[in-house]
Structure 1
Amino acid sequence: MRPRLQDVADHAGVSMKTVSNVINGYQHVSAATRRRVLAAVDALGYRPNLAARNLARGRAGLIALVVPRLDFPYFAALSGRILQAARAVGWEVLIEQTDGDPELERQVIAGHLARRIDGLIFSPVALTAAEIQERTDPTPLVLLGEHVVNAGAPHIAIDNVAAAAQATQHLIDIGCRRIAMVGATRRRDNPRYQGFRQAMKRAALPVEPYLVRPTRSTAGIEGEQQLAAILDSDVPPPDGVFCATDWLALGAIRAIHRHGLRVPQDIAVVGFDAIPYGEVASPSLTTIMPDRDQIARRAVAALLAAHDHPTNPTARDDQAHQPDVDFRLIIRESTDR
């Protein structure tokens, strides 16, 4: 027979309440007792009944993760982390994609999903902060990404301005003086473009308009096309390129190679997001690495807090003001001069 909670309690010599506290991660249990309970769990092969646990907590046992595209490497990698973090607290995850379509994104925040959910983790592209603030659906919401800030919901993200400035400063530090940016518009609210401009201004370097190349998407082909357009023109080529995503950066590297130039000797390249492919590319890609585990844990924790304290405005406000997620610059061959 499948072992029960009572069996674990009897094996460990503790109460069922203590076993429940250990399994649910409550901190007010001594280290010795925790070890004894976990040993009993392993010895008996006990697995919690998640359906019963969710029913007792008034949960559906399901949250939704909605991203622009699942085939974007960054979101594919992040989705795996969120699945792990949600599973640890007894939630299943429904994953949807919007392709950045404004109408689909509006349907998401309006609560038009196929199943009842306990919470929504959402990375919008087309929506404004005002549209999200005006939502009437009561489902707890956590926002990801750089596109929407100050929308009245917990926003889990790195400081994109600081990260982009660090990436650009790295190019400056290795001697680059004509630096292009691929994958950013000149909108004032584009944080990665803001960080690029900040670093260039601090170094007293000009931001040449023809070296700032917006893209329609973050696909690699866009990076290749935009950098090829620069290299095919009559203007002097850049000696460094900051790309708004790694996928764009890999495309840019392809364009550089196809024009008979070398990375990093002729043009150094920095990406953003630390997708797995960048580590094994040739050359391997220097990049900004967000702490995806931290993003996932904080997103799930924010949903838990909103679900457990639905009428507590203090708890909601505390969750809405999230600290920046950690990030670091990973230096690899694409800038190793």
Structure 2
Amino acid sequence: MREQVTMADVARVAGVSTATVSYVLSGKRPVAPATRAAVEAAIADLGFAVNTAARSLRTGRSSLVALIVPDIANPFFAQLAATLQEELRGLGMHVVVCNTRADREEERALLAEAVQQRFAGVVITPFRLLPKDLDTLSTAGIPTVVSADVPFGPVDLVTPDARAATRQALEGVTAARRRRIAMIAGPRDATGGDPRLELLRSLAPQFGTSLPGALVVRGEHTREAGAAGFAELMSRRYPPDAVFCANDVIAVGALGKAHELGIDVPGDVALVGHDDASFASLVRPRLTTIRYPAEDVGRAAAELLRERFEGRRVPKTVRVRAEFVARASV
């Protein structure tokens, strides 16, 4: 039987240290192109593969990282999953995507499963969880990264820096002489409230407008909720002339309802989404939105996990810059 090829074998053939081989595999430190090429050639020649089974026996953990999201059908989360998988591949980790349908009990059940299966790490976008719900992961010693708009207890956090982008969106809307601003927001019981609504409300007075409660409707982060919310807003005695949406999925639902009602976008009402999902530039009119780059979120989450695997103990927050993307719906 052929002996198992080790990292030391790769290092010997490539003429480098085992630490350098590790850096090439994990990507955690830069390696000179010529050195990387030598290591990759040795890996190919020897047929080396990371022995995840041995590592699992040694550490008591699997090689799996759970990505827990509220809606895998949303392209934002699909791109997040793809990026996270790509970033963790060099560590010999694999991503398992778990869809909660924004249901609290499903979120809690998946946390329990991650503990039971001894997952190597968890990246989660909580929708109805409470910070204390993550205590079970902390107790089990499972590194956890939360992707959310607000802090979520003493854990690593990836969060948007959307203030400048939201200000630009308001500037664009008000420059088009829109003053009666509304929002289709998320549900009241969502984790951390609705910080996108609060940010918009806090900035609106700087542009000579406001966001009164009468022009805020709430619902799930779905196309159906977007359509229903838009219809409700347009039925007001004094309907808005600009509608912001908590995400692009909601915005597309609102856009479809506008077509159905014979309301012109942007002629009668401007429409602004959030996230810049892949379909935002494909619908007609093309959707003006606030881009929150899923790729950057995925890379940040992977880096935070890598640091935890290497022994970092103090919680860390990474802010990902959002960008205003002006298209045809304003």
- TM-score band by shorter chain is 0.7 to 0.9
Structure 1 counterpart of 2:218: 214
Structure 2 counterpart of 1:49: 50
SS in structure 1 at match of 2:177: coil
Work out which of the residue numbers 303, 306, 321 in structure 2 matches 1:326.
Answer: 321
Map Cα deviations across residues 18-76 of structure 1 (whole Å, 9 max, x no partner). 4444333353754543344345556x485533426745973521111111222233222
Q: TM-score, length-normalised on structure 1?
A: 0.83
What does residue range 11-90 of structure 1 map to in structure 2 within 5 Å?
Answer: 12-14=14-16, 18-25=20-27, 27=29, 29-38=31-40, 44=45, 46=47, 48-51=49-52, 54-55=55-56, 58=59, 59-90=61-92
Structure 2 counterpart of 1:177: 179
Distance 1:293 1:205, change over 3 A: same
What does residue range 1-337 of structure 1 map to in structure 2 within 5 Å?
Answer: 12-14=14-16, 18-25=20-27, 27=29, 29-38=31-40, 44=45, 46=47, 48-51=49-52, 54-55=55-56, 58=59, 59-110=61-112, 115-132=117-134, 136-146=139-149, 149-160=151-162, 163-184=165-186, 189-215=193-219, 217-233=220-236, 235-309=237-311, 315-317=312-314, 320-335=315-330
C-alpha distance in structure 2 between counterparts of 1:174 and 1:131, whole Å: 45
Q: How many residues align?
A: 324
Distance 1:74 1:14, change over 3 A: closer
Partner amino acid, structure 2, of 1:91: M
Q: How big is the shift at 1:214?
A: 1.0
Map Cα deviations across residues 53-109 of structure 1 (whole Å, 9 max, x no partner). 745973521111111222233222322222222223210122222222223333444
Partner amino acid, structure 2, of 1:222: A
* Contiguous gaps of at least 5 residues in structure 1: 310-314
Map Cα deviations across residues 282-336 of structure 1 (whole Å, 9 max, x no partner). 1111111112222112212222222331xxxxx322xx2313112211111112x
C-alpha distance in structure 2 between counterparts of 1:111 and 1:49, whole Å: 25
CA contact (8 A) 1:274 1:287 kept: yes
C-alpha distance in structure 1 between counterparts of 2:131 and 2:4, whole Å: 49
C-alpha distance in structure 2 between counterparts of 1:186 and 1:112, whole Å: 28
Distance 1:36 1:262, change over 3 A: same
Q: How big is the shift at 1:271?
A: 0.3
SS in structure 1 at match of 2:208: coil
CA contact (8 A) 2:62 2:117 kept: no
CA contact (8 A) 2:201 2:210 kept: no
Map Cα deviations across residues 173-214 of structure 1 (whole Å, 9 max, x no partner). 332111111124679942101111022121231323332111
Q: How big is the shift at 1:270?
A: 0.8
CA contact (8 A) 2:10 2:21 kept: yes
SS in structure 1 at match of 2:252: helix
Identical residues among aligned pairs (%): 30
CA contact (8 A) 1:220 1:250 kept: yes
C-alpha distance in structure 1 between counterparts of 2:30 and 2:259, whole Å: 59
Distance 1:25 1:130, change over 3 A: closer
Distance 1:127 1:31, change over 3 A: same
CA contact (8 A) 2:81 2:95 kept: no
Partner amino acid, structure 2, of 1:204: G
More strand by share: 2
Q: How big is the shift at 1:140?
A: 1.5
Map Cα deviations across residues 211-270 of structure 1 (whole Å, 9 max, x no partner). 21111x11112111111122234x233221111110111111122222222211221111
Structure 2 counterpart of 1:312: none
SS in structure 2 at match of 1:139: coil
C-alpha distance in structure 1 between counterparts of 2:31 and 2:54, whole Å: 20
CA contact (8 A) 2:66 2:95 kept: yes
Distance 1:257 1:303, change over 3 A: same
Map Cα deviations across residues 129-161 of structure 1 (whole Å, 9 max, x no partner). 344357633212111123x52411011121355
Distance 1:16 1:127, change over 3 A: closer
Q: How big is the shift at 1:276?
A: 0.9
Which moves more between the two structures, 130-139 or 326-335?
A: 130-139
Root-mean-square deviation (CA, aligned residues, Å) is 3.1
